[in-house]
């Protein structure tokens, strides 16, 4: 392909509103153009890369035995009502609007995901255990009413997802969900490895199902919105929501001070109380009242820690957890909001492990405008239930004992054991070997294609531009013909271009009549893995220059050796750029 015949829209200026490197570079390299907030055009170069990612995803899904279909973006809202997700999704669910009840638009939504639609298909066609397991996938546009689209294509309102859904009657054995989940997990490792991404699978929150029921695939980069928490040696990794912490040791201290009630008028937040009493937030016991499946539940954590509601729900064995309103707090503690404490409280209490090693602590007095100091567990109150119910913080250790390291990261993929949530609510049953109708057990597996592209740019760029991994680069080679007015340069450049194309190498020939500096800058910016420079001076010595974008290694070779060398190099680079499977995977 000749540059002048193609459509390349590089620009020098850094777009004012773009902060994330991938956002800046994708615009500057002419890969994308914003249409409205959260929706982008993929310009020709960008679209080539996206298609390559799509191919890798499709190949690995097919290799893992998943079967491709295609579902529409438009769904009837009834199905979403059946699964209770109109409420659960809130504004994320994009509705077409409509002016009246009988306007079809008011009964139609644009799918943020496709569990409802696929479950209806399973219900219609999967009748007997003999048909299972089935794993169906698609690569399709999703719509999500994200409140804040940001960082270019990392978070948009319209994006491409590969979503797969598997159906089973049991968890175990080769037909069961566990085996299929593993296969998808392995396929994801293969996909990210082929894309050259430094990925880390992490345990993710999976609600009441718990256990190893959900993993996210993370790419550590400063542009991410999520936190990856792992040990230095990589043997433990989880997202922040899920990360477990090792028990804190009892550091001793404390004087077994007497319980003392202190008047703290209008002083109710952790910060205000610690300031008022001249102590550290870590010396306070935070007492939080929840409504758990309708019953009051008290969580105790150290003042500088946060309750992790998912951990708490699991520890409590409850399905739903809501922060209590002022009325419930008053009923349980007898005080206004901000003055709760465990001493004398008659309700179910779960204490975080860190609370059990506190001495002479400060808590609310269960009396408006009062706190108490000198609170000691065992002496002043008992807790029957102790668990890890807080979010990890810097300085914590993993259950393995190694210190946890926190890194910003991007979630590029997610595998999830759904269980029977959708088959129950949509009545998708299948006859088992005994002829009994059972709700199908489901797994779902999603990958964001656009995010893979942006994450790769986040991981591989320098101050001059993108450094694409070969596997997902829009083209593999750019030929910079330095002086298109020189006949010999023109001829050799064209010959190399034709030779490479014939050898199946994807090559872009920069045949513009512009200064060398402009060509080199653009070549660096669009970041193709190899650059060939054909110039008058080199040709006088009988050579052209070959340069690897990522390492800046250069070679000078006679033109007739270039194509075979490039073929050899590309093969080597693809192998070299594949990422290793992480230790914890």
Q: List residues near ligand ATP by CB under 6 A.
A: 113, 144, 146, 155-156, 159, 161, 411-414, 446-448, 450-451
Least gap, CB of 116 to ligand ATP (angstroms): 14
Stretch that binds Mg ion, among 268-276, 285-293, 407-415, 420-428 (CB under 5 A): 407-415
Q: Taking CB within 5 to 8 Å according to partner kind, which of Mg ion, ligand ATP, none is near residue 156?
A: ligand ATP
Q: Are 519 and 510 in contact (CB under 8 A)?
A: yes
Least gap, CB of 146 to ligand ATP (angstroms): 5
Q: Which is nearer to Mg ion, 112 or 296 (CB)?
A: 112
What region does 253 belong to: left with phi over 0, alpha with psi -120 to 50, or beta? Answer: left
Structure-token match 């910079």, residue found: 480
Least gap, CB of 96 to ligand ATP (angstroms): 19
Q: Taking CB within 5 to 8 Å according to partner kind, which of Mg ion, ligand ATP, none is near residue 448?
A: ligand ATP
Q: Which is nearer to Mg ion, 305 or 421 (CB)?
A: 421
Structure tokens at 10: 């590089």
Task: Single out the residue of 285, 217, 294 nearest to residue 254, CA to CA.
Answer: 285
What region does 278 belong to: left with phi over 0, alpha with psi -120 to 50, or beta? Answer: left
Q: Taking CB within 5 to 8 Å according to partner kind, which of ligand ATP, Mg ion, none is near residue 522?
A: none
Task: Single out the residue of 247, 229, 250 nearest to residue 238, CA to CA.
Answer: 229
Which residues are 467's β-sheet partners?
Answer: none
Q: Taking CA 353 as the corner, what is the angle to CA 347 and CA 355, rounded to the nearest 5 degrees?
A: 70
- The site for Mg ion, by CB under 5 A, has a size of 1
Least gap, CB of 71 to ligand ATP (angstroms): 15
Least gap, CB of 223 to ligand ATP (angstroms): 12
Structure tokens at 536: 């008058």
Q: What is the spatial distance between Cα 301 and Cα 305, in angstroms, rounded to a whole number?
A: 6
Least gap, CB of 201 to Mg ion (angstroms): 13
Helix (H, G, I), strand (E, B) or coil at 492: helix
Q: Which is nearer to Mg ion, 414 or 550 (CB)?
A: 414
Q: Are 558 and 532 in contact (CB under 8 A)?
A: no
Q: Which is nearer to Mg ion, 163 or 283 (CB)?
A: 163
Least gap, CB of 452 to Mg ion (angstroms): 14
Q: Which is nearer to Mg ion, 194 or 414 (CB)?
A: 414
Q: Which is nearer to ligand ATP, 145 or 254 (CB)?
A: 145
**Residue 89's Cα: distance from chain center in Å?**
18
Q: Which is nearer to Mg ion, 229 or 530 (CB)?
A: 229
Stretch that binds Mg ion, among 69-77, 146-154, 414-422, 447-455 (CB under 5 A): 414-422
Under rule CB under 5 A, which residues in 92-111 are in contact with Mg ion? none
Least gap, CB of 17 to ligand ATP (angstroms): 17
Q: What is the spatial distance between Cα 96 and Cα 98, in angstroms, rounded to a whole number?
A: 6
Q: How many CB atoms lie within 10 A of CB 36?
A: 9
Stretch that binds Mg ion, among 94-102, 169-177, 410-418, 421-429 (CB under 5 A): 410-418
Q: Which is nearer to ligand ATP, 18 or 291 (CB)?
A: 18
Which residues are 317's β-sheet partners?
Answer: none
Least gap, CB of 380 to Mg ion (angstroms): 43
Residue nearest to Mg ion (CB): 414
Q: Taking CB within 5 to 8 Å according to partner kind, which of Mg ion, ligand ATP, none is near residue 152?
A: none
Structure tokens at 426: 């949509």
Residue nearest to ligand ATP (CB): 448
Least gap, CB of 92 to ligand ATP (angstroms): 8
Pinpoint the alpha helices (H) of 378-428. Answer: 421-425
Q: Taking CB within 5 to 8 Å according to partner kind, which of Mg ion, ligand ATP, none is near residue 338?
A: none
Q: Which is nearer to ligand ATP, 218 or 562 (CB)?
A: 218
Under rule CB under 5 A, which residues in 259-318 are in contact with Mg ion? none
Q: Which is nearer to ligand ATP, 85 or 305 (CB)?
A: 85
Task: Please list, residue by residue across 248-268, b when 16 or more beta carbons sit within 10 angstroms of its beta carbon and e when fewer do.
Answer: beeeeeeeeeeeeebebeebb
Q: Taking CB within 5 to 8 Å according to partner kind, which of ligand ATP, Mg ion, none is near residue 421?
A: none
Task: Single out the residue of 300, 393, 297, 287 nearest to residue 340, CA to CA.
Answer: 287
Helix (H, G, I), strand (E, B) or coil at 478: strand
Least gap, CB of 497 to Mg ion (angstroms): 43
Q: Which is nearer to Mg ion, 60 or 216 (CB)?
A: 216
Q: Are 126 and 138 in contact (CB under 8 A)?
A: no
Q: What is the DSSP string of 205-244?
A: --GGG-TT-EEEEEEE-TT-SEEEEEETTSS-EEETTT--
Q: Are 471 and 573 in contact (CB under 8 A)?
A: no
Distances in Å between the Cα of 4 and the Cα atoms of 29, 348, 403, 512, 526 are 16, 73, 55, 6, 15
Beta strands in 245-310 (DSSP E): 260-263, 285-292, 295-302
Least gap, CB of 214 to ligand ATP (angstroms): 9
Question: For 356, phi and psi rounded to 5 degrees?
Answer: -75, -10
Q: Tell which one of 414, 421, 497, 550 touches Mg ion (CB under 5 A).
A: 414
Q: Which is nearer to ligand ATP, 144 or 497 (CB)?
A: 144
Contacting positions for Mg ion (CB under 5 A): 414
């Amino acid at each position: 392909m000749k540059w002048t015949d193609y459509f390349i829209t590089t620009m020098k200026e850094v777009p004012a509103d773009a902060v994330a490197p991938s956002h800046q570079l994708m615009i500057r390299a002419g890969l994308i153009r914003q249409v409205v907030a959260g929706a982008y055009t993929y310009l020709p170069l960008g679209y080539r890369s996206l298609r390559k990612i799509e191919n890798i995803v499709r190949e690995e899904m097919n290799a893992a035995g998943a079967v491709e279909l295609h579902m529409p973006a438009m769904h009837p809202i009834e199905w979403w009502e059946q699964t209770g997700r109109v409420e659960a999704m809130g504004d994320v669910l994009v509705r077409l609007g409509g002016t009246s009840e009988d306007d079809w638009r008011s009964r139609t939504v644009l799918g943020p995901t496709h569990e409802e639609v696929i479950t209806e298909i399973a219900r219609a066609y999967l009748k007997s255990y003999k048909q299972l397991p089935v794993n169906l996938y698609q690569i399709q546009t999703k719509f999500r009413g994200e409140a804040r689209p940001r960082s270019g294509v990392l978070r948009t309102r319209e994006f491409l997802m590969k979503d797969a859904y598997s159906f089973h009657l049991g968890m175990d054995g080769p037909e069961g969900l566990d085996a299929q989940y593993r296969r998808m997990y392995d396929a994801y490792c293969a996909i990210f490895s082929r894309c050259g991404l430094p990925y880390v699978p992490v345990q993710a929150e999976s609600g009441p199902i718990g256990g190893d029921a959900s993993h996210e695939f993370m790419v550590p980069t400063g542009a991410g919105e999520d936190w990856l928490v792992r040990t230095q040696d990589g043997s433990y990794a989880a997202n922040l929501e899920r990360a477990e912490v090792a028990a804190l040791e009892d550091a001793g201290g404390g004087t077994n001070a007497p319980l003392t009630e202190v008047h703290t008028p209008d002083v109710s937040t952790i910060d205000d109380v610690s300031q008022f009493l001249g102590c550290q937030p870590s010396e306070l016991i935070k007492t939080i009242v929840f409504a758990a499946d309708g019953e009051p539940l008290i969580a105790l954590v150290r003042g500088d820690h946060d309750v992790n509601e998912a951990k708490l729900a699991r520890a409590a064995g409850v399905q739903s957890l809501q922060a209590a309103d002022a009325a419930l707090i008053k009923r349980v503690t007898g005080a206004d909001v901000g003055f709760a404490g465990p001493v004398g409280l008659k309700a179910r209490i779960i204490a975080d492990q860190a609370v059990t090693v506190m001495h002479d602590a400060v808590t609310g007095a269960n009396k408006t405008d009062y706190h108490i100091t000198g609170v000691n567990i065992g002496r002043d109150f008992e807790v029957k239930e102790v668990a890890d119910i807080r979010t990890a913080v810097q300085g914590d250790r993993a259950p393995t004992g190694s210190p946890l390291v926190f890194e910003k990261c991007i979630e590029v993929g997610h595998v999830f054991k759904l269980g029977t949530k959708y088959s129950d609510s949509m009545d998708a049953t299948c006859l088992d070997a005994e002829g009994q109708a059972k709700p199908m057990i489901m797994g779902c597996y999603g990958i964001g294609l656009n995010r893979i592209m942006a994450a790769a740019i986040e991981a591989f760029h320098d101050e001059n531009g993108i450094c694409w991994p070969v596997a997902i680069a829009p083209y593999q080679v750019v030929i910079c013909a330095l002086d298109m007015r020189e006949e010999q340069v023109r001829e050799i450049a064209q010959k190399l271009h034709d030779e490479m194309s014939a050898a199946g190498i994807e090559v872009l020939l920069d045949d513009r009549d512009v200064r060398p500096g402009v060509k080199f800058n653009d070549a660096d910016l669009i970041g193709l893995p190899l650059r060939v420079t054909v110039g008058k001076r080199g040709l006088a010595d009988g050579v052209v220059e070959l340069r690897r974008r990522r390492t800046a290694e250069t070679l000078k070779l006679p033109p007739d050796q270039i194509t075979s060398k490039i073929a050899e190099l590309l093969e080597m680079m693809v192998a070299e750029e594949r990422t290793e499977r992480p230790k914890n995977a």
